[in-house]
Amino acid sequence: MERIVNEQEVLRLRELVSEAEHIVVTCHTNPDGDAIGSMTAVIQVMERLGRKAVGIAPDRWPDNLQWLPGMDKLLNYSKQKEEADALLKEADLVFMMDHGSLSRMKDLGDAVGQSPARKVMIDHHLDPDHECCDLVVSEPSLCAACEVLYRLMVDMGWAEGLTFDEATSIYTGMMTDTGGFTFASNRPEVFLIVSRLLETGIDKDRIYRNVFYTASPDRYRLMGYLLYVKMELIRDLNASIMSLTNEERRQFKIRNGETDGYVNLPLQIERMRLSIFLREDTERKGVIRVSLRSVDDFPCNKMSEEFFNGGGHKNASGGTIYGTMDEAIELVHTAIHKYAPLLKG
């Protein structure tokens, strides 16, 4: 495997870690398996190296990650602000996992920005903010922050002695960010790493079930409702639109993270190239969050930049529409028709 950091960066990180008495690890808002897995993994690696480390997530994480090893080391900033601020105050090193800027952490980002601690970013999103960190290890071509972390561990010499618990966390992040290795995971290195993780004895089938087969009945009932009632297929343009209002969320007793993955469903229909999922923001009135997923070469990040104040990756992007749900759906129609030549393909 190619190195992802040079000799100078290795020395710099070694120095930062060896000088650190109190390490804090952070991740982005609405944390997913990669955000939480990369946090718990790096906390455990730091502990193995004899350091003290704790994690602070900006807000609540999904229940289906609660079984991960090391979760007792995580705080939820939106609920445990005082305790977290005290930890940040004494922190001398912060690892920012799975996000490329302080703004992806909302309030926690302000607190981290004000902290004099050294900062190391370990990420795979596009356009990382180099200004906010002392060391940036960001590789958008890799499938997960957990893959970036593992590759960094190899370069640092930390992968020798990889533990079962570290491997469990890293596998979880790589698995969730690739939809169970169904996208963004075609490089041989991905499976080389998986193979090394398996050598620690982890049970990948159990990890899959722990994460993906633990939905609430309400999540499946809402999924059925969305597919049966709400999914609009634009067959001639190979595109799909689904939407979710807060009223529907209440009706199905659905929490924020429980709608993850719905956007991918329409892509399982033959010939579909683009799926757009709209949902009313749970906190801000008149704000609609947009999720886009595409296959092959369709650049949904370009569409999101042009129409939805957003961006992201070629096949997975997001954005925001300001207005009512009806206005948002109309705007999505406009966008899809503008991109008709690329969608017909």
Please report whether residue 139 would count as binding Mn ion according to CB under 5 A: no
- For 130-167, b/e burial (b = at least 16 CB within 10 A) is eebbebbbbbeebbbbbbbbbbbbbbbebbeebbebbb
d(CA 338, CA 319): 17
d(CA 289, CA 199): 41
Site for ligand 5GP in 109-128 (CB under 6 A): 125
Please report whether residue 291 would count as binding ligand 5GP according to CB under 6 A: yes
Site for ligand 5GP in 16-45 (CB under 6 A): none
Please report whether residue 155 would count as binding Mn ion according to CB under 5 A: no
Please report whether residue 318 would count as binding ligand 5GP according to CB under 6 A: yes
Please report whether residue 98 would count as binding Mn ion according to CB under 5 A: yes
Answer for which of 158, 266, 319, 329 binds ligand 5GP (CB under 6 A) is 319
d(CA 65, CA 318): 23
d(CA 102, CA 209): 33
HSE value, Cβ hemisphere, 13 Å, CA-based, for 256? 13
DSSP letters of 190-247?
A: HHHHHHHHHTTT--HHHHHHHHHS---HHHHHHHHHIIIII-EEEGGGTEEEEEE-HH
Nearest Cα neighbor of 28 from 64, 56, 1 is 56
Q: Which does 316 bind (CB under 5 to 8 A by kind): ligand 5GP, Mn ion, none?
A: ligand 5GP
Min dist CB 309 to ligand 5GP, Å, is 7
Q: CB nearer to ligand 5GP: give 140 or 224.
A: 140
Cα torsion 132, 133, 134, 140: sign:
negative
Q: CB nearer to ligand 5GP: give 128 or 312.
A: 312
Q: CB nearer to ligand 5GP: give 173 or 318.
A: 318
What one-letter code names the amino acid at 173?
G
CA distances for 279 relative to 78, 219, 261, angstroms: 22, 15, 13
Please report whether residue 317 would count as binding ligand 5GP according to CB under 6 A: yes
Q: Which does 249 bind (CB under 5 to 8 A by kind): ligand 5GP, Mn ion, none?
A: none
Site for Mn ion in 23-42 (CB under 5 A): 34
Site for Mn ion in 245-304 (CB under 5 A): none
Answer for which of 31, 33, 173, 312 binds ligand 5GP (CB under 6 A) is 312
* Window of 7-15, 207-215, 231-239, 316-324 that interacts with ligand 5GP by CB under 6 A: 316-324
Answer for which of 9, 165, 166, 177 binds Mn ion (CB under 5 A) is 177
Beta strands in the chain (DSSP E): 22-26, 52-57, 74-76, 93-97, 118-123, 135-138, 232-234, 239-244, 274-280, 287-294, 311-312, 316-322
Please report whether residue 104 would count as binding ligand 5GP according to CB under 6 A: no
Min dist CB 231 to ligand 5GP, Å, is 17
Answer for which of 31, 62, 257, 310 binds ligand 5GP (CB under 6 A) is 310
Residues near ligand 5GP (CB under 6 A): 125, 291, 310-313, 316-320
Residues near Mn ion (CB under 5 A): 34, 98, 145, 177
